[in-house]
Each structure stands twice: as C-alpha cells, then as structure tokens.
C-alpha cells in the first residue's frame, strides 16, 4: 500500500492546533468523482472533527463550527424502476468559508463503504456538539440561519415566505425537500395554506434544524 503523501505528524499537529482530541479512526480516501482512488490518502476522524486530505496539507474540519451539506442522488436501473446505486454528495464547510467536497457511491447489492459511516457519524456529532449553543441563542431571541431557512422562537422563514409557529400545521420531508405547511397570517379567499420549504441539499446540518423545528413546533402547539 502506498504511503499517504501527508505525513501523520502533520495530521496530528493540525488536529492538536484545532483541539480535535484523540484520533478515533483513519480510512482510505475514496471519491466517486475520481476515476481512481487518491493513492495512499486517508481521512482521519477525531473526537471533535475530521482531518481531510487537501492537496499536500491536512485540512481540519472542527465539529463545533462545521456546516455539513448532504445530498442523495438515486440512479435507476436501465428500463426499470428500481434503484441501482446512490451517489451521496458531501460538502464540509469550515467557519472561514473553506470547503471540502467529496462524493461516495453506494450500490445496493454491495456492502457500504466504511467512509459512509464515518461521514454520517461526523454529521451526527456536529449536530450534537452545536445543539446546546443554538438552543441558547434561540432562547436569547436570535435568528438562526440554516442556508435558505431561518428560524426563531416566533417565526420560520424561507425566501419571501414566513409564518409564525402558532400557524404551522405540519412539518415534514417530501421528495428530498423540507416541507412546512402553515395557515396564512391574513385570511384570503383563495389561499388556504402556504408552503415553506427548501431542498435538503441546500440546508446545512439538517438533523439539527429538524430537532429544533420539532421542539419549537411542539411548544407552539401546547
């Protein structure tokens, strides 16, 4: 096996500088956009973030400030309606705006790539590490932005549409998009409901947003 062109000493030094904690696992880097795997390169998961290969230097992705976008693209078998394989696009955005992108391919008849589990765990940990901070900010009256969706304790907004939580009828996910249905603030003869939503692929840290929406909606309904 070819050695990683990024020395482990550099990886550990970068992780220590960003206080990522202990190293938990290292996996060969695979990107379905590439015709071949990047020889020797590895992705490292630490307690509080990832260290990913970026050119010839390690790129730290700390969970405490990370924004993770995830998009699934389902590919059907030729002349059939069944799914043959799924491409999952991952975008990891640092606080300074630097972005690390990768894509994994999952064939239903094959075992999952271990990297899928690593990235899913990174998303779950990111949301867990940020949850208390965003709850505190909400309680202080802040507006939180998750890409095209803004939430606060009183309202939810996306684009030109907004609604108070007290008028929200349902929240859900439909066809790969967030779907919120609400009664209009001003009654209209022709408009019975308004739809607020956005594609999940444009919403960072969606599991965290989903938890917050369920919490606020439940409180507004009681």
Section 170-182 average pLDDT: 92
Predicted pLDDT of residue 82: 75
CA distances from residue 47 to 62, 65, 69, 183 in whole angstroms, order as listed: 9, 14, 20, 43
Q: What's the CATH fold of domain 8-137?
A: PH-domain like (2.30.29)
According to CATH, the topology of domain 143-221 is PH-domain like (2.30.29)
Q: For the chain, which residues make up each domain, given as ranges?
A: 8-137, 143-221
Query: 3-class SS at 194?
Result: strand
Q: How many residues does the chain have?
A: 222
Element (H, E) at 89: strand 83-93
Distance separating alpha carbons of residues 120 and 115, to the nearest angstrom: 8
Q: Around 70, how many Cα atoms within 13 Å sit in the side-chain half-sphere?
A: 15
217 band by pLDDT with thresholds 50, 70 and 90 = very high
Q: What is the H or E stretch that residue 126 is in?
A: helix 114-139
pLDDT tens-digit map of 137-158: 999 999 999 999 999 999 999 9
């Amino acid at each position: 096996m070819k050695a990683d062109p990024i020395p482990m000493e550099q990886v550990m030094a970068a992780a220590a500088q960003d206080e990522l904690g202990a190293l938990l696992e290292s996996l060969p880097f695979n990107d379905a956009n590439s015709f071949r795997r990047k020889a020797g390169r590895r992705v490292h998961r630490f307690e509080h973030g990832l260290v990913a290969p970026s050119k010839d230097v390690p790129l730290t992705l700390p969970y405490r400030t990370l924004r993770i976008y995830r998009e699934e693209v389902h590919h059907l078998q030729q002349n059939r309606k069944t799914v043959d394989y799924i491409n999952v696009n991952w975008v990891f955005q640092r606080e300074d705006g630097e972005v690390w992108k990768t894509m994994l391919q999952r064939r239903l008849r094959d075992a999952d790539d271990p990297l899928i589990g690593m990235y899913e765990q990174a998303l779950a940990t990111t949301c867990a590490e940020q949850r208390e901070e965003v709850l505190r900010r909400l309680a202080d009256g802040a507006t939180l932005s998750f890409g095209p969706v803004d939430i606060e304790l009183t309202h939810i907004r996306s684009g030109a549409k907004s609604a108070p939580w007290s008028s929200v009828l349902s929240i859900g996910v439909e066809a790969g998009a967030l779907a919120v249905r609400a009664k209009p603030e001003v009654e209209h003869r022709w408009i019975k409901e308004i739809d607020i939503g956005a594609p999940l692929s444009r919403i960072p840290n969606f599991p965290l947003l989903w938890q917050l929406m369920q919490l606020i909606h439940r409180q507004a309904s009681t």
